[in-house]
Amino acid sequence: MKANRFSVLILLLTTIVGCIGCERGITNKQLVPGIMELTGTLIQRHPYLFNSEELSDLDELNRQLREAVAQGKKDTTNSLAIERQANIENRIIALLEQSDSVIRVTLTEDEVSVMPDSSITVPGESGALLLRIESKGDQKNCITSEYNMANGDRYQLINVNLESDGVTWALINLVRIPPDENKTILLFNTKNGKTIKLPFAIIRQKLGRLKVSILSDDTGQPAPAMVRLIWKTNGQDQMPSNAIELGEQLEHIKSDTTKYIPLADNGDGRRPAFLPGRLLGHYWTVPAPFDMALSPGEWEITIRRGVEHIPIFDTFTVESGQTVEKTYQPKRWVDMRKYGWYSGDTHVHCRILSDMDAKRLMAYVQAEDIHVANILMMGNFRRTYFEQRGFGKEYRVIDGDYILAPGQEEPRTFATLGHFIGLNLTDFVRNTDYYFLYDIFADIIHEQGGLAGYAHANSGAFRVARDMSMNIPKGKIDFLEIFQGMYLGTNLYFDYLNLGFKLTATAGSDIPWGHTIGDVRVYAFTGDQPFTADAWFEAFEKGRTFVTNGPMLEFYVDDALPGDEIELTDNRKLHVKARAWGSPERIGAAPKKLEIIRHGEVIRSINSSDPNQEELALDFEIDSEFGFWITARAEGYEGTHALSSPIYVVRKGLRFWKFDEIDEIIDRTNLALDQVEQFVEETRKRSAENKLLADDLEYKQLDVLSAELLKRVDTAREIYRKLKEETAEKEKQIRNQR
């Protein structure tokens, strides 16, 4: 019956609004000011005020309203869009009118009446008052405010400022509500300066209690984990009582230049996890068992311990004044350490200047089950961020088989050459005198025994392809970050492999700009030797890696592993074996497709249409021909991916490159070199014309280094020319003879 009345009311209002729109010439303003904020807040913070059908209708109307407002802003003369907006606003008001949660207040000259009662029971420590306040007049308005009830004394005084006469919808968000009955006075401040008081009681039940222990599947002892705790009453997550606060260590970075807007979400320790399916959302690092008070009602807990563990989803009810005790033990579906593979993240930003800093970050890394986290001190031309106590082996933080290893993301230029990473360093490398000459940084890093590579090579962000075009052909680069977020990007990676340059594939989260440590990860094969940081970096340097955010991967050619080189004198058969596997219980891990890629092209694949199938495998022979690079790639359900570093098949006297497309690939790299020349020329011109601003320090130094940078462009062009005109021509004769 209620639904029918609501439908009739909507029809009547739609007709009325259509007429009003025609007669009055509705402008691109909300018919009911503040309605969009009020509606959105109701949906996000107080869904308990509506039944499921009402909430669904309100959510849909809110979406339509936002679309209509956006459309109206684009075209203020579009009368149909404006009428649609007015229609939607009235439909929202009609829905609110039907809600049993509305407190109806009528104001006269000096008096106030309330229906249905002058008291309300809220579900927990937070709740809301949804007021419909009617006074003499025909205007409509919506206001949204917040009141912290921990600030009150004997009486809580809640101001409701009425900006117009008529009907005002007021949503008052209540937080930190004390238990039992709270005496309040609603102060209705009218447009004409009068204040009308309404005594009101807000009643909250006593809290319940939750005690949680999370155990390691390896030891049976308490272990750090990532936890999401949601109160089903309002859909909001709650911070566990002992959750780690990382906000200070993650440094809320403000841009040094208006040309760069940071995306860091680093206000506290709650981390966004860009993970597949139900795993998507925000989580806290919980280092040990916790004990906390919770509002009565239904709660949902999600527990993660990285990709090798099956997540736990549990729903339970907390009763007022009662204690709920829970013990969870996330199960491993795989232990890659038993196969000789150890996980890593090569792009983590977090300050470590004290033992407490290290302890908090180590708990986070263990909760995500990352065994080697590379903690990168970061710089730009003006300054550095995420300071570290030091570099080298003595500054590694080790707890069992979990390691924090200091490194750097430096130099970093945004619109010129991209971001550079150094791993396994003995000292931080920084000198603004040669800031744009990345090859010098690479040489110093290598002198330290470290590894040099590029961040964001998956997307080509920050013009990183430009510096790649200069320094990869010179043999300065060890690795490329090809996996970040949920995006596995291989275009740049495959181009340089196709030119015959060896490069290790890696993955990095880039927190705090990224999401959570290890949401994508790189595995390095240390084999039978004891696991240490040195063993891991040695394996990484050899290219014995694969990257993933879901499926696990095995790949062999004969007995060779990723990163290995198979040297041949003549053509022969090669035995290729690959396996992708994962548990369907870990969302995104089960493989959907397995491919073998040679020179960037799929030469063999197998697919699955069964999300419960745990494994895909390929086993076949191919001819070695003139040599090539070859890799395995897997795709999991929910958009997950895995890719191994290549195995290199090398015929004596030949490169393993994609010979038939050398000209096209070199043309693409030369375009990047062209761009370097262009921005150098533009900077020189601006400098000559005195158009560089006083604080354009970065570009002034670029002008100083411009000649040196152009020399490096010329060197790279010469390498490409020789590859194209000399090496390729020489190989052409050899290939024709065979």
What is the 8-class DSSP label of residue 307? T
Specify the DSSP element, H or E, that contains 9.
Answer: helix 2-24
Pick the range with the lowest mean pLDDT from 284-293, 573-582, 691-700.
691-700
Which pLDDT score, from 0 to 100, does residue 650 have?
98
CATH number at residue 274: 2.60.40
Q: Peptide bond preceding 411: is omega within 30 degrees of 0, i.e. cis? A: yes
Beta strands in 365-401 (DSSP E): 372-379, 384-385, 397-399
Residues 6 or more apart whose Cβ sits within 8 Å of residue 727: 655
Of 657, 692, 715, the domain-final residue? 657
* Residue 80 pLDDT greater than 90, yes or no: no
The tally of domains found in the chain comes to 6
Assign 153 a pLDDT band (cuts: 50, 70, 90).
Answer: low
Q: Does the pLDDT at position 495 exceed 80?
A: yes
On whether residue 241 sits in a domain, the answer given is no
Of 75-84, 289-298, 393-402, 529-538, the one with minimum mean pLDDT is 75-84
535 lies in the same domain as 396: yes
pLDDT (mean) for 363-389: 97
pLDDT in tens, 445-468: 999 999 999 999 999 999 999 999
pLDDT at residue 421 in the model? 98
- What is the spatial distance between Cα 638 and Cα 142, in angstroms, rounded to a whole number? 41
Same domain, 389 and 534: yes
Q: Name residue 461's amino acid.
A: A
CA 195 to chain centre: 48
Residue 298: inside a domain: yes
% of residues, the chain, pLDDT over 70:
93
State pLDDT tens for residues 685-695. Answer: 999 999 998 88
How is residue 558 written in tokens?
């004969």
Strands across the sheet with 180-189, in order?
A: 119-122, 195-204, 180-189, 156-161
The answer on pLDDT for 11 being more than 70 is: no
Same domain? 540 vs 557: no
Strands (E), 259-371: 271-273, 281-286, 290-294, 297-304, 312-318, 323-328, 341-348
Q: Would you say residue 30 has pLDDT above 80?
A: no
Residue-wise pLDDT tens digits, 60-78: 999 999 988 888 777 766 6
Q: Is there a contact between 440 and 434 (Cβ–Cβ < 8 Å)?
A: yes
Give the tens place of pLDDT for each residue, 577-619.
Answer: 999 999 999 999 999 999 999 999 999 999 999 999 999 999 9
Do 568 and 529 fall within a single domain? no
83-139 pLDDT, tens digit per residue, is 888 999 999 999 999 999 999 999 987 789 999 889 999 999 999 999 999 998 889
Residue 266, pLDDT above cutoff 50: no
Range of the domain at 19: 2-98
Mean pLDDT of 622-630: 97
Segment 61-69 long-range contacts (CB within 8 Å, at least 24 positions apart):
61/88, 61/91, 61/92, 61/95, 62/36, 62/92, 64/88, 65/35, 65/36, 65/39, 65/89, 65/92, 66/36, 69/30, 69/36
For residues 280 and 270, membership in a common domain is answered with: yes
Q: Give the pLDDT confidence of 161-190 residue by residue, as tens digits.
A: 998 889 999 999 999 999 889 999 999 999
Residue 256 has pLDDT above 50, yes or no: no
% the chain with pLDDT above 90:
83
How far is Cα 495 from Cα 474, in angstroms, rounded to an integer? Answer: 15
Q: Which residue has the tokens 């300071």?
A: 387
In the predicted model, what is the mean pLDDT of the chain?
Answer: 91
Evaluate whether residue 618 is within a structural domain: yes
* Contact call for residues 61 and 54 (beta carbons, < 8 A): no
* H helix runs in 449-563, sequence order: 464-471, 491-498, 533-542
Whether 461 and 373 map to the same domain: the answer is yes
The closest of 312, 310, 320, 401 to 362, measured between CA atoms, is 401
514 and 540 in a single domain? The answer is yes
**pLDDT score, position 264:** 43
State the Cα–Cα distance between residues 228 and 271, nearest whole angstrom. 10
pLDDT at 150: 87
Residue at which a domain ends, from 616, 634, 657: 657
Is the pLDDT at 376 greater than 70? The verdict is yes
When pLDDT is averaged across residues 396-410 and rounded to a whole number, the result is: 98
CA angle centred on 330, ends 276 and 523, rounded to 5°:
60
Residue 237 lies in a domain: no
**Does residue 545 sit in the same domain as residue 558?**
no
Give tens-digit pLDDT for 712-728.
Answer: 999 999 999 999 999 99
Question: Residue 390's pLDDT is what?
Answer: 97
Q: Which residue has the higher pLDDT, 429 or 251?
A: 429
pLDDT score, position 4: 40
Q: Within a domain: residue 263? A: yes
Whether residue 167 is contained in a domain is answered as yes
CB 349 within 8 A of CB 234: no
pLDDT tier, 32 (very low <50, low <70, confident <90, very high otherwise): confident
Question: Which residue in this structure is represented by tokens 């039940």?
Answer: 205
- 674 pLDDT more than 70: yes
Q: What is the pLDDT of residue 73?
A: 79
In a domain, 247, yes or no: no
Is residue 731 located within the same domain as residue 635? no
Neighbours of 618 (CB within 10 A): 17
User: Of the candidates 425, 420, 364, which has an alpha carbon nearest to the alpha carbon of residue 396?
Assistant: 425
Cross-strand bridge partners of residue 613: none
- Whether 246 is in a domain gets the answer no
Asked if 489 and 329 touch (Cβ cutoff 8 Å), the reply is no
Rounded to whole angstroms, the Cα distance separating 414 from 261 reads: 11
Cα–Cα dist 336/509, whole Å: 20
Domain boundary among 304, 328, 352: 328
Supply the CATH number for residue 357's domain: 3.20.20.140
- The residue-averaged pLDDT of 325-354 equals 98
In this prediction, residues 255-263 reach a mean pLDDT of 35
CA distance 546 to 651: 25
Give the pLDDT score at 21. Answer: 40
Of the ranges 14-18, 31-35, 214-218, 665-669, which one carries the lowest mean pLDDT score? 14-18
Task: Report the pLDDT value the prediction gives residue 265, as an integer from 0 to 100.
Answer: 44
Same domain, 87 and 153: no
Q: Which of 224, 228, 213, 214 is nearest to 301 (CA)?
A: 228
**Shared domain check, 404 and 372:** yes
Question: Which residue(s) pair with 556 in the sheet?
Answer: 577
Which residue in the block uniquely carries the two structure tokens 């104001």? Answer: 107
pLDDT at 81: 77
Spatial neighbors of 222 by CB under 8 A, at least 6 apart, are: 213, 214, 215, 216, 288, 289
Does 675 lie in the same domain as 647? Answer: no
**Residue 541: what pLDDT?**
98
* Structure-block tokens of residue 592: 């959907």
